[in-house]
Amino acid sequence: MFDPQRIRDDFPILQRQVHGKPLVYLDNAATSQKPRQVIQALSHYYEHTNANVHRGLHTLAEEATEQYEAARRKAARFISASGPDEIIFTRNTTEALNLVALSWGRANVRAGDEILISQMEHHSNVVPWQLLAREKGARLVYAEVGADGLLDLDAIERQIGERTRIVSLMHMSNVLGTINPVAEVAKLAHARGAVMVVDGAQSVPHLPVDVRDLDCDFLAFSSHKMLGPTGIGVLWGRRSLLEQMEPVLGGGEMIAQVLDDSSTWNDLPWKFEAGTPNIGDGIAFGSALDYLTELGMQAVREHERELTAYAMETLGALPEVTIYGPRDPAKRGGAVAFNYGSIHPHDVATVLDYEGIAVRAGQHCCQPLMRALDVSATVRASFYVYNTQAEIDALVGALGKVKEVFGDVAGRPV
Protein backbone atom coordinates (compact mmCIF):
# COMPACT_ATOMS: atom_id res chain seq x y z
CA MET A 1 0.00 0.00 0.00
CA PHE A 2 1.52 3.30 -1.12
CA ASP A 3 1.34 5.68 1.83
CA PRO A 4 3.27 8.95 1.49
CA GLN A 5 2.88 9.67 5.20
CA ARG A 6 4.68 6.44 6.08
CA ILE A 7 7.26 7.03 3.37
CA ARG A 8 7.99 10.47 4.88
CA ASP A 9 9.06 8.81 8.13
CA ASP A 10 11.97 7.22 6.25
CA PHE A 11 13.38 10.62 5.22
CA PRO A 12 15.09 12.35 8.17
CA ILE A 13 15.57 15.62 6.27
CA LEU A 14 11.82 16.11 5.95
CA GLN A 15 11.75 16.87 9.69
CA ARG A 16 13.80 20.00 9.03
CA GLN A 17 12.54 23.52 9.25
CA VAL A 18 13.57 26.29 6.87
CA HIS A 19 13.12 29.91 8.01
CA GLY A 20 11.02 28.55 10.85
CA LYS A 21 8.61 26.71 8.55
CA PRO A 22 8.39 22.96 7.86
CA LEU A 23 10.44 22.09 4.78
CA VAL A 24 8.32 21.52 1.68
CA TYR A 25 10.78 19.97 -0.75
CA LEU A 26 9.58 20.42 -4.34
CA ASP A 27 12.94 20.38 -6.12
CA ASN A 28 13.08 16.66 -6.84
CA ALA A 29 13.91 17.02 -10.51
CA ALA A 30 17.20 18.60 -9.38
CA THR A 31 17.93 15.94 -6.81
CA SER A 32 15.82 13.75 -4.54
CA GLN A 33 16.13 13.38 -0.80
CA LYS A 34 17.52 10.13 0.63
CA PRO A 35 15.78 7.63 2.89
CA ARG A 36 17.40 6.40 6.09
CA GLN A 37 17.95 3.00 4.41
CA VAL A 38 20.27 4.58 1.82
CA ILE A 39 22.11 6.75 4.34
CA GLN A 40 22.64 3.71 6.55
CA ALA A 41 23.86 1.57 3.66
CA LEU A 42 26.51 4.19 2.98
CA SER A 43 27.72 4.47 6.57
CA HIS A 44 27.48 0.69 7.04
CA TYR A 45 29.76 0.17 4.07
CA TYR A 46 32.41 2.53 5.44
CA GLU A 47 32.10 1.19 8.98
CA HIS A 48 32.13 -2.51 8.14
CA THR A 49 33.20 -3.33 4.60
CA ASN A 50 35.39 -0.64 3.04
CA ALA A 51 37.93 -2.21 0.65
CA ASN A 52 38.86 -1.96 -2.99
CA VAL A 53 36.94 -4.15 -5.40
CA HIS A 54 37.93 -6.83 -7.89
CA ARG A 55 41.47 -7.29 -6.66
CA GLY A 56 41.91 -8.14 -3.01
CA LEU A 57 41.85 -11.71 -1.85
CA HIS A 58 40.80 -10.82 1.66
CA THR A 59 37.36 -10.96 3.23
CA LEU A 60 36.60 -7.24 3.08
CA ALA A 61 37.55 -7.03 -0.58
CA GLU A 62 35.35 -9.98 -1.41
CA GLU A 63 32.41 -8.50 0.48
CA ALA A 64 32.85 -5.08 -1.11
CA THR A 65 33.05 -6.65 -4.57
CA GLU A 66 29.95 -8.72 -3.96
CA GLN A 67 27.93 -5.76 -2.67
CA TYR A 68 29.04 -3.49 -5.51
CA GLU A 69 28.24 -6.10 -8.14
CA ALA A 70 24.91 -6.80 -6.41
CA ALA A 71 24.03 -3.14 -6.96
CA ARG A 72 24.81 -3.60 -10.65
CA ARG A 73 22.49 -6.61 -10.81
CA LYS A 74 19.74 -4.56 -9.13
CA ALA A 75 20.19 -1.77 -11.67
CA ALA A 76 19.97 -4.32 -14.50
CA ARG A 77 16.74 -5.79 -13.09
CA PHE A 78 15.30 -2.31 -12.48
CA ILE A 79 15.29 -1.48 -16.20
CA SER A 80 14.98 -5.09 -17.43
CA ALA A 81 18.43 -5.18 -19.01
CA SER A 82 19.40 -8.55 -20.41
CA GLY A 83 22.27 -8.76 -17.91
CA PRO A 84 24.42 -6.84 -15.44
CA ASP A 85 27.23 -6.70 -18.01
CA GLU A 86 25.14 -4.10 -19.85
CA ILE A 87 25.23 -1.76 -16.82
CA ILE A 88 28.19 0.62 -16.85
CA PHE A 89 28.56 2.68 -13.71
CA THR A 90 29.40 6.32 -14.40
CA ARG A 91 29.36 9.45 -12.24
CA ASN A 92 25.95 10.56 -13.52
CA THR A 93 23.71 10.89 -16.57
CA THR A 94 25.95 13.54 -18.09
CA GLU A 95 28.99 11.31 -17.99
CA ALA A 96 26.96 8.42 -19.42
CA LEU A 97 25.81 10.52 -22.40
CA ASN A 98 29.36 11.78 -22.94
CA LEU A 99 30.58 8.19 -22.95
CA VAL A 100 28.25 7.37 -25.84
CA ALA A 101 29.38 10.46 -27.76
CA LEU A 102 33.08 9.85 -27.13
CA SER A 103 33.07 6.13 -27.84
CA TRP A 104 30.26 5.15 -30.22
CA GLY A 105 29.99 8.66 -31.65
CA ARG A 106 33.65 9.16 -32.45
CA ALA A 107 33.90 5.78 -34.11
CA ASN A 108 30.73 6.04 -36.20
CA VAL A 109 29.93 9.67 -36.98
CA ARG A 110 31.54 11.20 -40.06
CA ALA A 111 31.59 14.56 -41.83
CA GLY A 112 28.15 15.43 -43.17
CA ASP A 113 26.34 13.01 -40.84
CA GLU A 114 23.48 14.22 -38.67
CA ILE A 115 22.65 13.94 -34.99
CA LEU A 116 19.02 14.58 -34.07
CA ILE A 117 18.07 15.93 -30.65
CA SER A 118 15.17 18.18 -29.57
CA GLN A 119 14.67 21.73 -28.38
CA MET A 120 13.66 20.50 -24.94
CA GLU A 121 16.92 18.67 -24.18
CA HIS A 122 18.92 19.33 -21.05
CA HIS A 123 22.34 20.80 -21.77
CA SER A 124 23.82 17.40 -20.91
CA ASN A 125 22.08 15.99 -23.98
CA VAL A 126 23.06 18.96 -26.16
CA VAL A 127 26.67 19.86 -25.50
CA PRO A 128 28.26 16.37 -25.89
CA TRP A 129 26.68 16.20 -29.36
CA GLN A 130 27.80 19.74 -30.20
CA LEU A 131 31.36 18.74 -29.33
CA LEU A 132 31.10 15.57 -31.40
CA ALA A 133 29.53 17.41 -34.35
CA ARG A 134 32.25 20.06 -34.25
CA GLU A 135 35.00 17.45 -34.15
CA LYS A 136 33.55 15.42 -37.00
CA GLY A 137 32.01 18.13 -39.17
CA ALA A 138 28.59 16.63 -38.51
CA ARG A 139 25.31 18.55 -38.21
CA LEU A 140 23.19 18.86 -35.09
CA VAL A 141 19.47 18.91 -35.93
CA TYR A 142 16.74 19.95 -33.48
CA ALA A 143 13.21 18.54 -33.35
CA GLU A 144 10.85 21.37 -32.43
CA VAL A 145 8.68 21.53 -29.33
CA GLY A 146 5.07 22.50 -30.06
CA ALA A 147 3.09 25.09 -28.11
CA ASP A 148 1.48 22.12 -26.32
CA GLY A 149 4.90 21.06 -25.01
CA LEU A 150 4.93 17.93 -27.16
CA LEU A 151 7.24 16.69 -29.90
CA ASP A 152 5.70 16.02 -33.30
CA LEU A 153 6.32 12.41 -34.27
CA ASP A 154 5.56 13.05 -37.96
CA ALA A 155 8.04 15.91 -38.06
CA ILE A 156 10.66 13.74 -36.37
CA GLU A 157 10.07 11.02 -38.96
CA ARG A 158 10.82 13.58 -41.68
CA GLN A 159 13.90 14.82 -39.83
CA ILE A 160 15.48 11.37 -39.53
CA GLY A 161 17.27 10.94 -42.83
CA GLU A 162 19.88 8.78 -44.52
CA ARG A 163 22.66 10.74 -42.83
CA THR A 164 21.20 10.52 -39.32
CA ARG A 165 23.55 8.42 -37.20
CA ILE A 166 22.30 9.24 -33.71
CA VAL A 167 18.91 10.23 -32.32
CA SER A 168 19.10 11.29 -28.67
CA LEU A 169 16.02 12.35 -26.72
CA MET A 170 15.07 12.83 -23.13
CA HIS A 171 12.41 10.36 -22.01
CA MET A 172 10.80 12.90 -19.70
CA SER A 173 11.39 16.65 -19.73
CA ASN A 174 12.84 18.17 -16.57
CA VAL A 175 10.94 21.40 -17.32
CA LEU A 176 7.73 20.61 -19.19
CA GLY A 177 7.23 17.20 -17.65
CA THR A 178 6.49 15.89 -21.15
CA ILE A 179 6.85 12.13 -21.53
CA ASN A 180 8.28 11.67 -25.01
CA PRO A 181 7.37 8.73 -27.29
CA VAL A 182 10.92 7.38 -27.28
CA ALA A 183 9.89 3.82 -28.23
CA GLU A 184 8.19 5.12 -31.38
CA VAL A 185 11.17 7.34 -32.19
CA ALA A 186 13.51 4.37 -31.65
CA LYS A 187 11.59 2.46 -34.36
CA LEU A 188 11.99 5.40 -36.75
CA ALA A 189 15.69 5.73 -35.92
CA HIS A 190 16.35 2.02 -36.42
CA ALA A 191 14.48 2.04 -39.73
CA ARG A 192 17.09 4.53 -40.96
CA GLY A 193 20.04 2.76 -39.40
CA ALA A 194 20.57 5.30 -36.58
CA VAL A 195 21.12 4.46 -32.94
CA MET A 196 18.63 5.64 -30.32
CA VAL A 197 19.97 7.20 -27.13
CA VAL A 198 17.55 7.92 -24.29
CA ASP A 199 18.29 10.40 -21.50
CA GLY A 200 16.43 8.73 -18.66
CA ALA A 201 17.49 11.12 -15.90
CA GLN A 202 13.88 12.13 -15.22
CA SER A 203 12.04 9.01 -16.35
CA VAL A 204 13.86 6.14 -14.62
CA PRO A 205 13.23 7.66 -11.13
CA HIS A 206 9.54 8.25 -11.80
CA LEU A 207 8.14 5.75 -14.33
CA PRO A 208 8.39 2.03 -14.91
CA VAL A 209 11.15 1.84 -17.55
CA ASP A 210 11.85 -1.36 -19.47
CA VAL A 211 14.59 -1.17 -22.09
CA ARG A 212 13.02 -4.07 -23.99
CA ASP A 213 9.84 -2.01 -24.48
CA LEU A 214 11.75 1.14 -25.38
CA ASP A 215 13.91 -0.90 -27.75
CA CYS A 216 16.52 1.87 -27.56
CA ASP A 217 20.29 1.35 -27.79
CA PHE A 218 21.51 3.39 -24.84
CA LEU A 219 19.82 4.65 -21.67
CA ALA A 220 21.44 7.04 -19.19
CA PHE A 221 20.31 7.85 -15.65
CA SER A 222 21.56 9.09 -12.27
CA SER A 223 21.30 7.65 -8.78
CA HIS A 224 20.86 10.97 -7.00
CA LYS A 225 17.53 11.75 -8.63
CA MET A 226 16.12 8.40 -7.45
CA LEU A 227 16.81 8.37 -3.70
CA GLY A 228 20.45 7.34 -4.06
CA PRO A 229 23.69 9.22 -3.45
CA THR A 230 25.33 11.70 -5.82
CA GLY A 231 28.37 10.59 -7.78
CA ILE A 232 26.98 7.41 -9.31
CA GLY A 233 24.99 6.93 -12.49
CA VAL A 234 24.35 4.34 -15.16
CA LEU A 235 24.87 3.92 -18.83
CA TRP A 236 22.91 0.95 -20.08
CA GLY A 237 23.85 -0.14 -23.57
CA ARG A 238 22.82 -2.92 -25.90
CA ARG A 239 25.43 -5.64 -25.42
CA SER A 240 26.20 -6.00 -29.14
CA LEU A 241 27.05 -2.27 -29.33
CA LEU A 242 29.01 -2.13 -26.09
CA GLU A 243 31.14 -5.06 -27.23
CA GLN A 244 32.22 -3.18 -30.36
CA MET A 245 32.95 0.07 -28.56
CA GLU A 246 36.38 1.29 -27.51
CA PRO A 247 36.95 2.48 -23.95
CA VAL A 248 37.15 6.21 -23.30
CA LEU A 249 39.31 6.14 -20.19
CA GLY A 250 42.34 3.93 -19.72
CA GLY A 251 43.82 2.69 -16.48
CA GLY A 252 43.45 -0.04 -13.93
CA GLU A 253 40.39 -2.27 -13.80
CA MET A 254 39.49 -1.77 -17.48
CA ILE A 255 42.31 -3.91 -18.89
CA ALA A 256 42.90 -7.63 -19.33
CA GLN A 257 46.58 -7.64 -20.29
CA VAL A 258 48.98 -4.70 -20.43
CA LEU A 259 51.95 -5.12 -22.77
CA ASP A 260 54.63 -2.47 -23.28
CA ASP A 261 53.02 -0.99 -26.38
CA SER A 262 49.39 -2.03 -26.15
CA SER A 263 46.76 -3.58 -23.96
CA THR A 264 43.72 -5.75 -24.24
CA TRP A 265 40.44 -4.81 -22.63
CA ASN A 266 38.59 -6.32 -19.75
CA ASP A 267 35.13 -7.81 -20.28
CA LEU A 268 31.93 -5.78 -20.15
CA PRO A 269 31.11 -3.72 -18.20
CA TRP A 270 34.53 -3.17 -16.60
CA LYS A 271 36.06 -2.21 -19.96
CA PHE A 272 34.44 1.20 -19.43
CA GLU A 273 35.23 1.59 -15.72
CA ALA A 274 38.85 2.68 -15.42
CA GLY A 275 40.28 3.17 -11.95
CA THR A 276 38.79 2.52 -8.54
CA PRO A 277 35.03 3.04 -8.90
CA ASN A 278 32.65 4.83 -6.55
CA ILE A 279 32.09 1.72 -4.47
CA GLY A 280 30.29 3.13 -1.43
CA ASP A 281 27.83 5.23 -3.40
CA GLY A 282 27.25 2.34 -5.80
CA ILE A 283 26.30 0.06 -2.93
CA ALA A 284 24.01 2.72 -1.42
CA PHE A 285 22.44 3.19 -4.86
CA GLY A 286 21.57 -0.50 -4.64
CA SER A 287 19.59 0.27 -1.47
CA ALA A 288 17.76 3.08 -3.26
CA LEU A 289 16.80 0.63 -6.02
CA ASP A 290 15.55 -1.81 -3.36
CA TYR A 291 13.47 0.96 -1.82
CA LEU A 292 11.85 1.93 -5.13
CA THR A 293 11.33 -1.69 -6.12
CA GLU A 294 9.56 -2.26 -2.81
CA LEU A 295 7.24 0.72 -3.47
CA GLY A 296 6.67 -0.44 -7.04
CA MET A 297 7.33 1.93 -9.91
CA GLN A 298 3.75 1.71 -11.18
CA ALA A 299 2.56 2.94 -7.78
CA VAL A 300 5.20 5.71 -7.83
CA ARG A 301 3.95 6.80 -11.24
CA GLU A 302 0.32 6.73 -10.11
CA HIS A 303 1.06 8.78 -6.98
CA GLU A 304 2.89 11.41 -9.00
CA ARG A 305 0.23 11.48 -11.70
CA GLU A 306 -2.35 12.29 -9.02
CA LEU A 307 -0.13 14.97 -7.46
CA THR A 308 0.58 16.49 -10.86
CA ALA A 309 -3.10 16.57 -11.78
CA TYR A 310 -3.83 18.26 -8.44
CA ALA A 311 -1.02 20.78 -8.92
CA MET A 312 -2.12 21.61 -12.48
CA GLU A 313 -5.65 22.16 -11.22
CA THR A 314 -4.86 24.26 -8.15
CA LEU A 315 -1.98 26.26 -9.64
CA GLY A 316 -3.88 26.63 -12.89
CA ALA A 317 -6.83 28.13 -10.97
CA LEU A 318 -4.68 31.15 -10.01
CA PRO A 319 -5.15 33.83 -12.67
CA GLU A 320 -1.53 34.99 -12.24
CA VAL A 321 -0.07 31.57 -13.05
CA THR A 322 1.11 30.47 -16.50
CA ILE A 323 1.90 26.73 -16.64
CA TYR A 324 4.14 25.32 -19.39
CA GLY A 325 3.96 21.86 -20.89
CA PRO A 326 1.19 19.37 -21.67
CA ARG A 327 -2.17 19.83 -19.87
CA ASP A 328 -2.97 16.13 -19.81
CA PRO A 329 -1.42 14.45 -16.72
CA ALA A 330 -1.29 11.18 -18.66
CA LYS A 331 1.23 12.75 -21.05
CA ARG A 332 3.48 14.26 -18.42
CA GLY A 333 5.34 13.55 -15.23
CA GLY A 334 5.63 15.51 -12.03
CA ALA A 335 7.79 18.44 -13.10
CA VAL A 336 5.60 21.53 -13.35
CA ALA A 337 7.18 24.70 -14.72
CA PHE A 338 5.28 27.94 -14.33
CA ASN A 339 5.53 31.68 -14.00
CA TYR A 340 3.71 33.97 -11.61
CA GLY A 341 2.57 37.13 -13.37
CA SER A 342 5.44 39.34 -14.39
CA ILE A 343 7.54 38.44 -11.36
CA HIS A 344 10.94 36.95 -12.12
CA PRO A 345 11.24 33.29 -11.04
CA HIS A 346 14.23 34.12 -8.83
CA ASP A 347 12.07 36.54 -6.86
CA VAL A 348 9.27 33.99 -6.61
CA ALA A 349 11.70 31.31 -5.42
CA THR A 350 13.19 33.60 -2.77
CA VAL A 351 9.77 34.42 -1.34
CA LEU A 352 8.80 30.72 -1.39
CA ASP A 353 12.04 29.82 0.38
CA TYR A 354 11.01 32.08 3.25
CA GLU A 355 7.83 30.00 3.47
CA GLY A 356 9.95 26.82 3.74
CA ILE A 357 9.23 25.80 0.15
CA ALA A 358 12.15 24.64 -2.01
CA VAL A 359 11.58 25.02 -5.76
CA ARG A 360 13.93 25.53 -8.65
CA ALA A 361 13.94 28.80 -10.54
CA GLY A 362 15.91 29.62 -13.65
CA GLN A 363 16.54 28.01 -16.98
CA HIS A 364 16.90 24.44 -15.70
CA CYS A 365 19.94 23.77 -17.92
CA CYS A 366 17.60 24.15 -20.91
CA GLN A 367 18.48 27.40 -22.68
CA PRO A 368 17.29 26.18 -26.13
CA LEU A 369 13.90 25.35 -24.58
CA MET A 370 13.66 28.75 -22.85
CA ARG A 371 14.18 30.38 -26.24
CA ALA A 372 11.52 28.14 -27.79
CA LEU A 373 9.07 29.11 -25.03
CA ASP A 374 10.20 32.76 -25.31
CA VAL A 375 10.70 33.13 -21.57
CA SER A 376 13.91 34.03 -19.77
CA ALA A 377 13.29 31.56 -16.95
CA THR A 378 10.58 29.69 -15.03
CA VAL A 379 9.76 28.46 -11.56
CA ARG A 380 9.57 24.68 -11.31
CA ALA A 381 7.92 22.49 -8.71
CA SER A 382 8.75 18.80 -9.03
CA PHE A 383 7.34 15.95 -7.00
CA TYR A 384 8.40 12.60 -5.65
CA VAL A 385 7.23 9.70 -3.52
CA TYR A 386 7.11 11.66 -0.24
CA ASN A 387 5.21 14.71 -1.49
CA THR A 388 1.57 15.26 -0.55
CA GLN A 389 -1.40 17.31 -1.68
CA ALA A 390 -1.04 19.36 1.51
CA GLU A 391 2.40 20.46 0.28
CA ILE A 392 0.91 21.60 -3.02
CA ASP A 393 -1.67 23.55 -1.02
CA ALA A 394 1.25 25.13 0.86
CA LEU A 395 2.84 26.11 -2.46
CA VAL A 396 -0.37 27.66 -3.75
CA GLY A 397 -0.86 29.53 -0.46
CA ALA A 398 2.72 30.80 -0.44
CA LEU A 399 2.31 32.27 -3.92
CA GLY A 400 -0.11 34.73 -2.34
CA LYS A 401 2.84 35.98 -0.34
CA VAL A 402 4.59 36.89 -3.61
CA LYS A 403 1.73 39.27 -4.34
CA GLU A 404 1.99 40.70 -0.84
CA VAL A 405 5.66 41.52 -1.35
CA PHE A 406 5.56 42.79 -4.93
CA GLY A 407 2.09 44.32 -5.13
CA ASP A 408 0.96 44.49 -8.72
CA VAL A 409 2.20 41.34 -10.42
CA ALA A 410 0.16 41.64 -13.62
CA GLY A 411 1.95 41.36 -16.92
CA ARG A 412 3.69 39.04 -19.26
CA PRO A 413 6.12 36.54 -17.73
CA VAL A 414 9.67 37.87 -17.85
Under 8 Å between Cβ of 216 and 187: no
Among 147, 262, 407, 410, binds other proteins (CB under 8 A): 407
- Quote the CA–CA distance of 195 and 219 in Å, as a whole number: 11
- Quote the CA–CA distance of 261 and 268 in Å, as a whole number: 23
Site size toward other proteins (CB under 8 A) is 19
* Among 365, 396, 409, 414, the one annotated catalytic: 365
Shortest Cβ distance from residue 130 to other proteins (Å)? Answer: 16
- Quote the CA–CA distance of 308 and 24 in Å, as a whole number: 16
Closest CA to 405 of 317, 358, 344: 344
Question: Is residue 379 part of the contact set for other proteins (CB under 8 A)?
Answer: no
Torsions phi, psi for 142 (to 5 deg) = -110, 125
Question: Is residue 23 part of the contact set for other proteins (CB under 8 A)?
Answer: no
Neighbour tally for 296: CB within 10 Å? 12
- Which residues, 337 to 376, sit near other proteins by CB under 8 A? 343-344, 346-347, 350-351, 354, 362-363, 367, 370, 375-376
Q: Which is nearer to other proteins, 166 or 366 (CB)?
A: 366
Under 8 Å between Cβ of 145 and 120: yes
Whether 366 is catalytic: no
Concatenated DSSP letters for 195-240?
EEEEE-TTTTTTS---HHHHT-SEEEEESTTTTS-TT-EEEEE-HH
Question: Is residue 231 part of the contact set for other proteins (CB under 8 A)?
Answer: no
Question: Is residue 319 part of the contact set for other proteins (CB under 8 A)?
Answer: no
- Quote the CA–CA distance of 330 and 150 in Å, as a whole number: 13
Shortest Cβ distance from residue 147 to other proteins (Å)? Answer: 20
Question: Is residue 400 part of the contact set for other proteins (CB under 8 A)?
Answer: no
Question: Is residue 130 part of the contact set for other proteins (CB under 8 A)?
Answer: no
Shortest Cβ distance from residue 230 to other proteins (Å)? Answer: 20
Q: Which is nearer to other proteins, 326 or 368 (CB)?
A: 368
Question: Is residue 162 part of the contact set for other proteins (CB under 8 A)?
Answer: no
Chain residues in the site for other proteins (CB under 8 A): 343-344, 346-347, 350-351, 354, 362-363, 367, 370, 375-377, 405-408, 414
Q: So which residues are the catalytic ones? A: 365
